[in-house]
Each structure stands twice: as C-alpha cells, then as structure tokens.
Structure 1
Amino acid sequence: MKALRRFTVRAHLPERLAALERLSVNLRWSWDKPTQDLFESIDPELWRLVGSDPVGLLGQVGPARLEDLSRDEAFVSRLDALAADLDNYLTRPLWYQELADENGQEAALPNGIAYFSMEFGVAEVLPNYSGGLGILAGDHLKSASDLGLPLIAVGLYYRSGYFRQSLTADGWQHETYPSLDPQGLPLRLLTDAGGAPVLIDLALPQNATLHARVWIAQVGRIPLLLLDSDIPENDHDLRGVTDRLYGGDQEHRIKQELLAGIGGVRAIRAFTDSEGLPAPEVFHMNEGHAGFLGVERIRELIEAGLDFDTALTVVRSSTVFTTHTPVPAGIDRFPVEMVERYFGSDPGGVGTRLLPGVPLDRIVAFGAEDDPSKFNMAHMGLRLAQRANGVSLLHGQVSREMFNDLWPGFDPAEVPIGSITNGVHAPTWAAPQWLELGRELIGSADLSSLSEPHVWERLQQVDPGHMWWIRSQLREELIEDVRARLRRSWLERGASDAELGWIATAFDPGVLTIGFARRVPTYKRLTLMLRDAERLARLLLDDERPIQLIVAGKSHPADDGGKALIQQVVRFADRPDLRHRIAFLPDYDMSMARKLYHGCDVWLNNPLRPLEACGTSGMKSALNGGLNLSIRDGWWDEWYDGENGWEIPTANGLADEARRDDIEAAALYDLLENAVAPKFYDRDERGVPMRWVEMVRHTLQVLGPKVLASRMVRDYTQKYYLPAARALRESIEPGTGARYNVPFGAARELAEYRQRVEKIWPQIEITDVDSSGLPDTPLLGSQLTLTALVNLAGLRPSEVSVQAVLGRVDAGDTLLNPMTVPMTHTGTADSGQDVFTAVTPLPVTGSVGYTVRVLPHHRLLAEDSELGLVALA
C-alpha cells in the first residue's frame, strides 16, 4: 500500500542539544565542513543514507542516541563552539560593512538588494535547480552572505524540483518527479503576527486568484524566499503552478513567471515588513524570467501617486538585468494575446486587472520585438533596467550584437550591456584537502583573503610531490564514488549482482581521468567525443597512456534529441571492452558534480562557439587543480593563457556543420594523444609528473583568485549595485528648478525630458560638417579641427552630446573600432543653428574617416546611449 501523504516527525532535542536545530536550518552548513562533520558524528551510517542532510538526520535519529549525545561533554563542547561560530558569522562586520567604513560611503551603499532567479542551487537537499543558472544563483547567495551584503533572494518552491534521472536498459533517459515535503527541508514558513501563513495573491483571468505561501531558506545571512502555490486556498489547477521546474506548456510557464516577478515583489514587501527590515533599493533580475517584477514596482509607485513615466524612471534607475542567453531561441517569448489576457480585463469586462492603474499597451511595449505577435522577456528586462550585463567578456560582446536592434544607429560595441564574468563559491566546490592547504598557507582558518592574488603565490612554497599526492587522493575518492554509482545504475537498468563483478575493478586510480558533465542541449555537443568512435576507443585502451572518461548530464524532458545523444554515449560506454574506461553516470546533481570537480584531472568542454555564455563547471575543476581542455568560449576565452590547460581549435564559421565537427573532433583527439596524455604520464624518479604539476600550480595561482564568486559579487556591488542605489536616490530627490522641487522631482524631470526628446528627435539634423587645419599630407598626430552645424529643434545644447567619431575605415567607408571626441558648443550661426567644434590629433595611420553624431544627454542617464537615440551626419 502507498501512503496518501509523507511528512517528517522528529524526536525532541534535549535542551543541551537545542543548537542542533539552528545549525541544521541555516544552509551555511552546506559549505562549513566542521558543521557537516558534527552532524556526521551523530550517526555516520544514517548521515550517508539521508544524503548528508542535517534536517533529514534529525528527523530520523532516535531519542536514545540524542540522550547519549547530550551527556557527551566532548560533543556538547563541539556543538556550542560551532553555534557560537555561526552567531559570530551572522553578526560580525564583513567586507560590505568594511567597505562603508573604509570609504566613508555608507550613505552610498544600498541598504537592501533583491535578487530574483527562477532556480537556486544552494545544496542538493534543496533541489530547486536544473543546471548552471541555478548553481550560479546559489553561489551568488553564498558569496553575498560571506561578504555581508544585505541581499534578499526570491524564487519559486517546486514541489517536485527538476527531475531525477535514470536510464532504461537500452540507455534512454527516464524521468521521475519525487514529491518534496517542505516540512522535511531546511525551510520555515513566513507568518503574520498571529502565526498564520502570509498569503501572496495574484488576480488572474476569469475572476480566478492565484495564492501562494512563502517558504524561507536561510543561506547564511541571506534569506531566500520561495513562493509555493500547492496550498488548499487554490483551485486544483492553480495548485500545480509551482509543481516542477521548467515543466508544462506556455500557459503554465507564464503563470510561474507572473508569480516569480509580481508575487516575488509582494513577498519581499511582506517579508521586510514582518522582519522590520528596510525595503530593498536595488532589484537584480538573474535572467528575464522574473521580468514582471518591474511592472509590479511601477504599479506600486502609481498607487503612491506617480504618473507612469515617472514611475518607470524610478524603477529603471534601480534595476539590474543579467542575461545568460547567447542565442535568441533560449529566450522566453509568449504570444502577445496571452500577455494581454493575463494583464487585461476579463472578457466580460468585470474582472480585476492584475496590475490596476498600469496601462496594458505600455506593458506590451516592454516586450516588443520584430515579430509583433510575440512578447520577449529579455527585451522587457532590458527596457526595465538601466544597467545590464552578460556573464563573461565574450558573452557581453555576443549580447551587444544580439540585442543591437534595441539601439538602432549604434554599433554593437556601443550597446549599453556590460559584462561581469561569473564565479564559483570556493568553500562549496573546493575539496577539503585544498581548503586545508589554503588555511596552512594563509596561517588562518579565515579564507576571505583568497580573493587576493598574492595569497595564491604562496603555492610556490608547496612541494610538487605534495600537490600530486592531493590530486591522486582526490582521484581515488572519485573512482570509489564512480564504482558505487555505476553499480546502482546497472541494477536500475535490470542487471543482476552476478553480472556486475567487473565494476569492482572498473576505472583505475592511476589513469588520466577526464570529466564531461553538464546539461545536454545540442550546442554543448555531448557526442563530439564519439565522432571517430574507434579512435576514442584506442585512446581509452592505450597500453602505455590510457585515459578514462566520466560523462554525466540531464536532457530536458521534452528534448528527445538530447536524450538520443545520451543514449549514444551510454551504448558506447556499455561495450564490454570499454566499460571499465568510460561511463555515463545518471542523475547528475551537486553531490556528483563535487566529486567530479575534485577528482578529474582534465575538464572537457566542446560547445559551439560562442554559445556558451560562461560555463562555470570548468572554473570549479580549475579550483581543484584540474586542467581545462576546451573550445575558446565563455570564461575560457577570457582567461586561457596557454599554461592552464589546452585550447581546442575551433572551426566555427564553416557552412558545413559535419565538416566543422570532424575538424574539431580530430583536434580533440590529437591534443589528448600528443599533448595531454604525454604530460600526465611523464614521471620523475618519485613518480611525480613534474610538468603536469607545474601546470596545476600555475592554474591555481592564475585562475584561483579570478574564478571566485566573491570576486563576482564584489564586481556586481561596485559596478552595478552602488551606482543603481545612487541613481535611485537621485531620482527620488527634487529635480533642477522650481517646477521639479518636489519629492521624485528628478525622476519626473528625466521622464519629461525623455518624452520631449523622443518626440523631437526625428527633427534633429546635422546640416553641415567642416574640417580644417590638416596639411596636404596628414601625419599621425596632425591636428584635425571639425565644426558641425546642428539643428536642435528646440533642445538646448546642454541637453545633447555632440561627438566626432573617427578611425580607420574599410573599403565601404565603415568606421572600424572608432574613437569618439566630445564637441564643444561654441555659439549660434546666423542661420540659428548651433555650432559645435572639436580639435583632435589623428589617432591612427592608413585610411581614416570621420563623422559627427548627436545623442541625448541628461545627468540622470547612466550613459548617453541609454535611450537608443542618435542622429548621424
């Protein structure tokens, strides 16, 4: 018989062990090994069975064992010390507080940051993630906690998470969706003063209302708010809105995104009110999924008395948008009629609008694209945010080209989308052996100084033999884990124990071990390694320099093409002559990933360039002394230096895709055979591969401080959060002149300026450009004087930026990597046109050209290209 419902019943904790509850529900334990070790010591076998989950452990440990522990003075002493350490961590000044003290800029720091994401990979016990986006979000929260940021995170609570993956006998992916009991997880419910659950409500079409409770996961200092629609207050179909991550059709998806964005803002308001916290000043969208948060904030400001355009100006000033999508097909796009239906009135005209007071046509305009029938969530994110970024230097460049149409008249390089390269949370992903070595080199248990490059230089003091010992120990631990997972997988596929004797000796702790683990969309090319299957087989079985390959990854449940790729790898790995050297491990999650990053000598990545926005898995491998073997894409394009791994040459651009794959696969095999394996197996008299270890040392020294999420979060703070908070505060202050001498006057001033400029702009005209002062034979550095006559159509010279643009030109007179020179207003011509002049030395040799352009200018714009308006000569 099956139970109707599952729930967790715990034993009472003795008073002396009460602190175990606090330690178990704050997810800081997931990156604090002493706390993990304490819970493991309660019952090592049970700890393993519950998947290293403190809440699960406390839910199953017996009262007799707890009574014994309460009388164990050594255990209680450890517990008290760790509880005190947690309290100290949660309260002491950290980097963010010191930033205010050191620079005297406390008033400039945002006193609250709201961070929205559709998935969060904090720990495997809370499976609210599917892949890189969620893991990145989880690392962002952990590092924000370690740095002391006043950040509140918002997402959805998925009752079935993503999915658990297994394999059928013929190697096809099979999905299951276990139901998760929130009461058995490290969560608490947001309640009102009377103890009743707080409900978040959204009005939907047909007079329906979507209700959601709010679960809170405490990630160190950071509260993570997760909205849950599976509650009795909802009709049956609405209870399923938060059933699965990335499941269902577009109707299901838009409800999730409305709940995440609009409901997320309302959850933050309820949470900050109940906790007595300041309202967040900065709102950060991690991808466009939660983009509707912007229109909810506009609704709030309209309700407070602002007009739409002033409210939009305030919202834009304080919103940051991060895009992770390098291809248009990866962006959520909804039919416009669907958006109109959810935001408009019911067909009978008697329903309640989801956002009272917000014009429907303005909402639809945020998501407009070249296809008038589609609503584009990324476009909405960009239109609602004054600051935007990609997640690596290359991805920033790709994003500027991808979204260039939103800034017509500007070259891609001038599109106002920057970049902050992703990072990874070292205490989560670095092996304990490396962390212990770090503490020894630093001379302190505090690892915060790992952000300083000079600290990593101390690795020069470490004997190569010791570094190789760590790498070998981690490889052995990985092989043990792989064998256990292989056995479980074969048993699930229908094999019997009698057939699995070979697994005891499968894989070899002394063999070069390569990892390839990630989601399985087509562009990541899971099966490139099989392009010449027999050549790969020879590499795996080489008598002198064998390699072994561990592959893992999930395909989206609706992607049969991705599942077919997995099946190809599984069938190859099933070959009796190869199965001891290659394996596909199902159910890739954080626990498996951690072992792979720790133990693999090489991390393989062969995406189609430039479709990998960042790709942080290779960073985690590098943090453990793994060497990357990768196409130059994402972060690897930025930080590969020839000594921290190997570059797979790319043949991108070839029209013949099959030939491109053949060329890149052949290059991969050549590198493995002629560069990677020889270095690994070239040993000194102690058995240490000295050239390999020096590459490991170099990788750690050069990449260690760069790949840290703490570096990433500091970058976001200084480049985006601080400017956004400053812009918000400026926007709510009185503006310039008596007309705007009221609260929010500056925002009103900018909103009216924008309306006026957009109306006038078609009339702006550069009527004449004259150059003078050049000799007959111009030389590098010769002075060029440019004078332009501009019809400003009623705008004042201070309301525009007039620029000379010059540089080399190609055969079609297109300026290449031009420089801009500000032109100064020097008067008014007899014709009434304004005169602008610039004097500049010629910056380059060769064929040089110039032009003049006019852009809007206002002190509250982040940059002059922000409005997407330009007039060219």
Structure 2
Amino acid sequence: MKALRRFTVRAHLPGPLAALEPLSVNLRWSWDKPTQDLFEAIDPQMWARVGGDPVAMLGQVTPARLEELAGDESFVSRLHTLAADLDDYLTRPLWYQELSEDATGAATEPPKGIAYFSMEFGVAEVLPNYSGGLGILAGDHLKSASDLGLPLIAVGLLYRSGYFRQSLSADGWQHESYPALDPQGLPLRLLIGRQGEPVLIQLAMPGGALLYAQVWIAQVGRIPLLLLDSDIPENEHELRTVTDRLYGGDQEHRIKQEILAGIGGVRAIRAFTDLEGLPAPEVFHMNEGHAGFLGAERIRELIEAGLDFDTALAVVRASTVFTTHTPVAAGIDRFPAEMVERYFGPDGPSVGGSRLLPGVPLDRILAFGAEDDPTKFNMAHMGLRLAQRANGVSLLHGRVSREMFNELWPGFDPDEVPIGSITNGVHAPTWAAPQWLELGRELLGSQDLAPLRETESWSKLQQVDPAHLWWIRSQLRAALIADVRARVRRSWLERGAADAELGWIATAFDPDVLTIGFARRVPTYKRLTLMLRDPERLKKLLLDEERPIQLIVAGKSHPADEGGKALIQQIVRFADREDVRHRIVFLPDYDMSMARKLYHGCDVWLNNPLRPLEACGTSGMKSALNGGLNLSIRDGWWDEWFDGENGWEIPTADGLADEGRRDDLEAAALYDLLERAVVPKFYDRDESGVPTRWVEMVRHTLQALGPKVLASRMVRDYTQKYYLPAATALRAVIEPGGDSDSQFAVPFGSARELAEYRRRVELAWPRVEVTDVDSYGLPDVPLLGSELTLTAQVALAGLRPDEVVVQAVLGRVDGGDLLMDPASVPMNHTGTADSGNEIFTATTPLPFAGSVGYTVRVLPHHRLLAGDNELGLVALA
C-alpha cells in the first residue's frame, strides 16, 4: 500500500540534549565540521544513510539511543561546547559591526538592513533549492554574509520538488524524477503571526483569484532565508503548483513565480521584520532579474505612503543593486508584453476594485521591461532600470554586459555604460577539504580562519614541506576514487546491470593516476563533449601505460534541453566502452555532495566554454581552494586571474565564424596541453616520489588564488562598492531637499527634487544642442603635450549650466573618424552668448600622438545621480 501523504516526526529530546534542536536547524552546521562530527557520533551508520542531515537524523534516532547519549557526560559536554560556540557566533561583533563602529557620520554608515533576492539558493544538499551556479553562488553569499556579520535577509521560493534528480537509462539518456519534499523534515520553521497562525502573503491574480503563500525560514548562520510556498489549502489547485518546481513549467507558470518572488518577497520581508522587530532593509539586491517586480512593489508602497510615481522611483532606484549573471541575450527571461498587461493592467487582477499594484500605472511598468521588440518584456532591462547600481560577476563579464546592454544607454560607448563588476567567490569552509582547513589553523596558530581573508596569511604556506602538500593531495584523490567506485556501481545497477558483471569496478580508476574533473550544468556553450572531438587521441591519453589520465564527468541538462541530453549520451556511450570504462565515467545526479568530493580530489579542473559565454564559472575556484590546477579557456574569472603558474590556458579561437573549425582547434590545443605540459609535470617525480614542480604549482595556486576566490572577499566588495553607496544614496533622497523655502523642504524632498529634475531634463533633452565648437592654441605642427583650447556654445533648452556637464572628448581616430579609447575633459561655464546659448571652455594638453580627433558632448548632472551617464542621455556636437 502507498501512503497518501508523508511527513516527518522528530524525536522528543531529553533535557540534556535539548541543544541538539537549535544546532540541527541552523544551517551553520553545513560548514562547521565539529557540529557535523557531533551528529555523526549519534549513529555513524544512520548519519551516512540520511546523507549527513541532522534533522533527518533526529527524526530516525531511537529514544533509547537518545537516553543513552543523555547519560554520556563526554557527549553532553561536546554538545554544550558547540551550542555555546553557535551562540557566540550569532552574537559577537564581526567584520560588519567593526565597519559600523569605524564609520564616521551618516554619510558612511553601513545599511541597517539588506534584502537579497534570488530564485535559487544552494546552501546545503539537504535543502535542494538550487540547480547550478547561480544558486550555489547565492548560498555562498549568505554564508559569507553571516561570517562577516551583515544584517542581510534573503528571499526566494520553496520548491516542493526542488530541482530534478537525474538518472541514466541503459543507453545513456538522462531521465528526471521529482521527489516531493516535506518542509517539516527540512531545517525550516514557519513564519508565525502574533496570534500563533502562519503568516500568509496575498497577491491578486487574473480573474479575481488570490494567490496565497506561507513563509518558511531557513536560518543560515545569522542570515534568515525566507522561502515562499504556495502549496497550501488556501489556494485553488492550479495556484498551489506555483512553487512546485525550480525552472519548470511554461511562461505563464514562470511569470507567476517571478511575481511571487518579487512582489510577494517584499511583502514577506515586511511581515518578517515587523514580527521580529528588525529594521526595514535599506538596500535591495536582485541576484539576476527574476525578482525584478520587487521594485514595482516598492514603488506601490511609496505611492500608498503619499509619493508620486517619479519620486517613488527615485527612492527605489537609489537603494537597489542589480547583478546580472547572463552573458547572452537568450539567457534572459522575456515575457510577452500582453501577458504582463494581463497581470498588471487595469482590466487584470482585481480584489475590491484594486489591481495587483494599485496606483502603479501599467504603461510605467511596461516601460521598465521595454526593448526593441515591443511585444516583449525584458526582465533584465527591468532590473537595470530599477537599480541605480549594477554589476557583472567578473571583469570580462562586466565588459560583455556593458556591450550587451549598450542599447539602454544610446550615444555612449560600451565602456561608459554604468555596469561594473564584482568577481564571484566561494565559501571556503563549505568547499575546502577538512585537511586544508586544518593546515590553515596550524599555520595561523588559531581555530579562527578569518585571517585567511588577508593575502599575507597565505604566505605561510611557504613553510610547508612539499611532501606534506603532496600527501594531502594524494589523500584527497584516494577518497575521491573510493567515492567514484561506489557511485559507478550504483549507476550501473540502476541502468540494469547485474551485480555479477560489475567485478571490474573494484579496480576501476586509480588513486595514483592524474585525475581530471569536468562537472557543471550542460548547456551547449559549456561544450561537455569537446574532449571527445578526437576519440582516439583521448583514448591514447586515458590508456597510456606509463602516464595515464582518468576523467570524471558529471552534470545535468535542463529537462527541456534535448540537445544537452544528447551531449550527455555521447559521453556516457564513450565511457561505457569496455576498453576505457576504468578511466572515464559520467556520474549521474550531480549535486553539492558529489561536487565537494570532486573539488577535493581532482588534480586538474577542466573548463572549455565558448568564450566569452561563461559569466564567471566558480567551480574552478573551488578546485583551486583544494590545490587543484585549472586547465581552462580564458573566460570568466580565469581570464582575470590566470598568471601562467596556477594552471594552464587553453588557447581560444573565439571570433572564428566556423564553429566546427573552432572546436577542432581548441580541442587540439587541449590535447596538446595535456600531452606536453600537464601529464609530464604530474608524473615527473623526485627520489621520494614527489612531483616537485607540480607541488610548487599547487602551492602557488593556493597562495595566489586563495585570498581572491573567497566569497568573503566578494561580499566585502559588495558591501563597500554597492551596499554602502546605495544606503548613502537612499538617505540622501529621503532628506528634505533645497532650502527652507524650497517646495522640496518636506520629507523625501530630495527625491522629489531629483524626480522633478529628471522630468525637466527628459522634456528638455531633445532640444539640448551643441551649436558651435571652436578650437585654437595649437602650433602649426602639434606635438604630444601641446595645449588645445576648445570653446563650445550649447543650447540648454531652459536647463541651467550647473544642471549639465559639458565635456571635450579626445582620442585617436580610426579610418572612419571614430574615436578610440577616448578621454574626457570637463569644460567650464564661462558666460552666455548674445544668442542666449551658454559658453563652455576647456584647455588640455594633447594626450595622444598619431591621428587624433575630438568632439564635445553634454550630459545631465545632479548631485543625487550615481553618475552623469545614469540617465542614458547625451547630446553630441
């Protein structure tokens, strides 16, 4: 018989063991090994069976075992020590609190609260609310924010089936399954109101229906993660499925999820902070555009509080940060404009005569997502238009993003588009092997690993004997091989093999062979099968009698991506061949648990995307944290931090129109590197059997990349470069503006002032014109450094001279007179011409030799803009 419903019942804990409950539900245990060891000690076999899940452990352990442990003074002492340590971690001042103490004055005071929105969070494998890099990055962001003490609240959705589980058919085709998750069996608690009832978030849907969601809270160290869940009795059947699967369903399903995440997410934060007595967030951070509707909801709140739309927009923009992870237009969520109209228009959802966002005009919402195709609504465009600050996730991705979104700033060169970059990072306690963390503690002479945020701490690795570094690497490789053999056996049995025919697995793979890992999602651009471009050449590398390699491959293809599934099948069919199956494998059901083993044990991490389509690619960072050497196309973070000694660069043929030819060239370069550089260096040993040149690359990788790839560095960068400026901008716009007699000398006066300025500028700008430019002062034969004086007359269409900046722009010119790498020089206002036009002048030494040109341009300027390019308005001579 099959149960109608499953749920988890937790054991009653004896008094001496009561502290196991808070230790089990705070996900800090997922990166704190002493706490993991404590739970494992309850029952090591059960711990392995439940996949290292404390909540599941407490749901299965027998009362007799708990009573036995309650009388075990040693266990109880360990428990109390760890409980005290968790309490200390949650309460003591950390980096952010010291930042607050160091701040001088309101202008530099850090934000009192930060809201962080993402559609997925990869915090721990027991909470499968992630699919890949975006979610893992979000999880690492939360953990490092906790370690640094940031007052951050995270928001997402709770997917009742999470992301899919992957298995393989006998012929290597990916199959998906969606196991139902029981929130009561997860490290979650419901947000409960003051009367003891679950808090329900409510949103209006088309046709007068209401979408309700309850709010589950996952505690990630100091950080509460709010997860909205629509699978509740209050909803109609169709609406219960809104949060059924991550990245499942059609566009109609998707827009409901994004409305719930954005609008419902803001409402969940308001309920949570009110009930918990916490300050409202000052800064809102969108991790990708999925939650972009949060900005529209915040505008609705401010309109309801009495502001007009443009003033509300000024407040929202000042305090919003947008991070794009997408280097290709096809990766952006785009909805039919008519679908957005149906959800947000005046004839759309209504409850008691109000719309989903009462007071927010439909045409303004549509304008946020507008693009060249008027039938489409672009969520990334919405994110950029609602955020005063935006960034990509590596230096290269920042450049790609500026080009990709250049259309939103017409008249500006891509380099001037206001999208910066903060390179992603990874959470060391989550991803570094215990052996490396223990070595770090020994070198620091402390249990506190916080000093590893500083570059100088990593120099202590010079004290470590090469043989010891090699011993750690060999230990980790051996553990990986044992895990791989177990996974290979399970996979073959699931695919229909008989146990009697699997004897070969006992000696498959080898703990002493150069081990290369390739594991990631399987979209086409990541080129899973590039390694198979020349199967015979790969086979020769795998089976070399003296210097073989072994390849461990893993990854999931999106359920709707038949092309990605075909790539997996190609790998599986090759790996199934009897002559190579002991040297190459595709492991199904890639998740955080498998990934951790791979990062720990692989000697080389392979990455061969189509450049520049990898926004960052943090898997290679995790390998580097474990002494793995990267072998990669120079894309994402590797383009930024490859230095010639921390791994190998696969030469790229990007820009070649013939894709097949490009793949041939890059695959050949990969084989060449393996044969001539990677393999020889690994197998070149000294008299003690240590590959000294290899180990020195491992040491250099740890020293050079260790402090850079940390998520703590990333979160500090976000705090200092984005969160603090956003909070400062918010405080500036909510202040009264102008002088005491000004129409803006009221609350939010500065925001009103900015909104009024923006209205006037946008009306005037079509008539702003550089009417005349004169130059003088140059000798007949200009030399580098010769002074050029430029004078321009500008028609300002009613704007004041101090409301614009006028710039001389100089640079080398190409054959079509286009300025290359131009430099701008501010021009000073020197008077008014008889015509009424304003006169601006600048004198500058010529900064370039060769063919040089100049022009003059006008940009809007206001003290509350993040930059003069923010509004995307420019008038060129």
Code of the residue aligned with 1:59 in structure 2: it is G
Please state whether the residue corresponding to 1:568 is helix, strand or coil.
helix
The Cα shift of 1:351 comes to 5.7
- Correspondence for 2:98: 98
Code of the residue aligned with 1:46 in structure 2: it is M
> 1:800 is matched with which residue: 797, 804, 807?
804
The Cα shift of 1:205 comes to 0.6
Q: Give the distance between the partners of 1:382 and 1:830, measured in 2 at CA.
A: 42
- 1:455 matched to 2:473? The reply is no
The Cα shift of 1:654 comes to 1.0
The Cα shift of 1:830 comes to 2.0
- 1:318 matched to 2:322? The reply is no
Please state whether the residue corresponding to 1:823 is helix, strand or coil.
strand
Structure 1 runs not aligned, ≥5 long: none
Q: Give the distance between the partners of 2:455 and 2:381, measured in 1 at CA.
A: 38
Please state whether the residue corresponding to 1:806 is helix, strand or coil.
strand
- Correspondence for 1:467: 469
Deviations 1:471-493 (A, max 9, x none): 00000000000001101100100
Code of the residue aligned with 1:137 in structure 2: it is A
Q: Give the distance between the partners of 2:141 and 2:349, measured in 1 at CA.
A: 45
Q: Give the distance between the partners of 2:773 and 2:454, measured in 1 at CA.
A: 51
Is the CA contact 1:345–1:351 (under 8 Å) kept in the aligned structure 2?
A: no
Is the CA contact 2:116–2:153 (under 8 Å) kept in the aligned structure 1?
A: yes
Q: Give the distance between the partners of 1:345 and 1:101, measured in 2 at CA.
A: 49
> 1:790 is matched with which residue: 787, 790, 794?
794
Please state whether the residue corresponding to 2:457 is helix, strand or coil.
helix
Deviations 1:837-865 (A, max 9, x none): 11111111111111110000000000000
- Correspondence for 2:617: 615
The 5 Å alignment of 1:213-612 reads: 213-346=214-347, 352-612=354-614
Q: Give the distance between the partners of 2:199 and 2:105, measured in 1 at CA.
A: 36
Q: Give the distance between the partners of 1:242 and 1:799, measured in 2 at CA.
A: 48
- Correspondence for 1:155: 156
The 5 Å alignment of 1:710-749 reads: 710-737=712-739, 738-749=742-753
- Correspondence for 2:44: 44
TM-score normalised according to structure 1 size = 0.99
Q: Give the distance between the partners of 2:125 and 2:563, measured in 1 at CA.
A: 27
Deviations 1:371-429 (A, max 9, x none): 00000000000000000000000000000000000000000000000000000000000
- 1:867 matched to 2:874? The reply is no
Code of the residue aligned with 2:618 in structure 1: it is T
The Cα shift of 1:347 comes to 6.6
- 1:31 matched to 2:31? The reply is yes
The Cα shift of 1:799 comes to 0.1
Code of the residue aligned with 2:832 in structure 1: it is T
Is the CA contact 2:396–2:635 (under 8 Å) kept in the aligned structure 1?
A: yes
Q: Kindly report structure 1 stretches of 4+ aligned residues shifted beyond 6 Å.
A: 347-350
Q: Give the distance between the partners of 1:589 and 1:519, measured in 2 at CA.
A: 10
The Cα shift of 1:352 comes to 3.7
- 1:108 matched to 2:109? The reply is yes
The Cα shift of 1:102 comes to 2.5
Q: Kindly, what percent of the aligned residue pairs are identical?
A: 84
- Correspondence for 2:675: 673
Deviations 1:146-166 (A, max 9, x none): 000000000000000000000
Q: Give the distance between the partners of 2:11 and 2:663, measured in 1 at CA.
A: 58
> 1:812 is matched with which residue: 812, 816, 833?
816
Code of the residue aligned with 2:558 in structure 1: it is H
* More off after superposition, 830-839 vs 58-67: 830-839
Is the CA contact 1:203–1:354 (under 8 Å) kept in the aligned structure 2?
A: yes
Code of the residue aligned with 1:215 in structure 2: it is W
The 5 Å alignment of 1:118-137 reads: 118-137=119-138
Is the CA contact 2:103–2:109 (under 8 Å) kept in the aligned structure 1?
A: no
Q: Give the distance between the partners of 2:248 and 2:89, measured in 1 at CA.
A: 38
Please state whether the residue corresponding to 1:206 is helix, strand or coil.
helix
Is the CA contact 1:206–1:351 (under 8 Å) kept in the aligned structure 2?
A: no
- Correspondence for 1:75: 75
Q: Give the distance between the partners of 1:619 and 1:348, measured in 2 at CA.
A: 46
The Cα shift of 1:346 comes to 4.0
The Cα shift of 1:793 comes to 1.2
> 1:765 is matched with which residue: 754, 762, 769?
769
Code of the residue aligned with 2:636 in structure 1: it is G
Code of the residue aligned with 1:51 in structure 2: it is G
> 1:844 is matched with which residue: 845, 848, 858?
848
Q: Give the distance between the partners of 1:863 and 1:508, measured in 2 at CA.
A: 57
Q: Give the distance between the partners of 1:179 and 1:320, measured in 2 at CA.
A: 34
Q: Give the distance between the partners of 2:738 and 2:305, measured in 1 at CA.
A: 22
Q: Give the distance between the partners of 2:553 and 2:747, measured in 1 at CA.
A: 59
Code of the residue aligned with 2:669 in structure 1: it is A
- Correspondence for 1:692: 694
Q: Give the distance between the partners of 2:348 and 2:618, measured in 1 at CA.
A: 47
- Correspondence for 1:835: 839
Q: Give the distance between the partners of 1:108 and 1:763, measured in 2 at CA.
A: 41
The Cα shift of 1:348 comes to 10
Please state whether the residue corresponding to 2:206 is helix, strand or coil.
coil
The Cα shift of 1:832 comes to 1.7
Q: Give the distance between the partners of 1:164 and 1:351, measured in 2 at CA.
A: 44
Is the CA contact 2:473–2:601 (under 8 Å) kept in the aligned structure 1?
A: yes
Code of the residue aligned with 2:778 in structure 1: it is L
Q: Give the distance between the partners of 1:438 and 1:99, measured in 2 at CA.
A: 25
Q: Give the distance between the partners of 2:782 and 2:210, measured in 1 at CA.
A: 72
Code of the residue aligned with 1:679 in structure 2: it is K
> 1:635 is matched with which residue: 610, 634, 637?
637
Please state whether the residue corresponding to 1:338 is helix, strand or coil.
helix
Deviations 1:160-210 (A, max 9, x none): 000000000000000000000000000000010111000000000101000
The Cα shift of 1:104 comes to 3.3
The 5 Å alignment of 1:699-710 reads: 699-710=701-712
Aligned residue-pair number:
873
Is the CA contact 2:167–2:174 (under 8 Å) kept in the aligned structure 1?
A: yes
Please state whether the residue corresponding to 2:224 is helix, strand or coil.
strand
Is the CA contact 1:346–1:352 (under 8 Å) kept in the aligned structure 2?
A: no
- 1:61 matched to 2:61? The reply is yes
Structure 2 runs not aligned, ≥5 long: none
TM-score normalised according to structure 2 size = 0.99
- Correspondence for 1:13: 13
The Cα shift of 1:230 comes to 0.2
Code of the residue aligned with 1:839 in structure 2: it is T
Code of the residue aligned with 2:44 in structure 1: it is P
Q: Give the distance between the partners of 1:53 and 1:625, measured in 2 at CA.
A: 28
The Cα shift of 1:736 comes to 1.2
The Cα shift of 1:345 comes to 3.6
Is the CA contact 1:207–1:351 (under 8 Å) kept in the aligned structure 2?
A: no
Please state whether the residue corresponding to 1:740 is helix, strand or coil.
coil
Is the CA contact 1:321–1:381 (under 8 Å) kept in the aligned structure 2?
A: yes
Is the CA contact 1:128–1:162 (under 8 Å) kept in the aligned structure 2?
A: yes
Is the CA contact 2:343–2:349 (under 8 Å) kept in the aligned structure 1?
A: no
